Structure 1
């Protein structure tokens, strides 16, 4: 999936959709860390607040959890 920088959907929602698909297909397996904010910013060509919003959306859906001092992980299936 690619991000449509000029489309009507907010970038953070597009990124969250891509990441949710990766969780669903096992690219990001359960109980494993997702890529860091810096790496995601580079991959998608967006700012850190945009990536944080996308991760927040995934957290709201129960797909990722934050472990203080360790990072963000895919939630158990």
Structure 2
């Protein structure tokens, strides 16, 4: 069995990997307090074994959903509207 948490989905679904990562993070964000930091791009890269661009897309997806906001140079945080 692989250590890759997304391997089981990669070949079964046409959904992009960044959407799957965003979905998992959204579940975690739902339990987190407002204004708490979310995983950084680097954390996402290491946790899921993806490229920086994929990590960036996952965070952008969360922003588009209104779940997080990003402060340049500081990171991304749980939105009050999530």
**Which TM-score applies when normalising by structure 1?**
0.85
How many correspondences in the alignment? 74
Partner of 2:29: 23
Gaps of 5+ in 1: none
Gaps of 5+ in 2: none
State how far apart, in whole Å, the 1-side matches of 2:18 and 2:42 are: 15
State how far apart, in whole Å, the 2-side matches of 1:13 and 1:55 are: 9
* Deviation sequence 1:1-59 (CA, Å, 0-9, x none): x42232322100100100111111x1x43211111111110101111101111110100
**Which TM-score applies when normalising by structure 2?**
0.80
Is 1:63 aligned with 2:67? Answer: yes
Two-structure CA RMSD over aligned residues (Å):
1.3
Larger Rg: 2
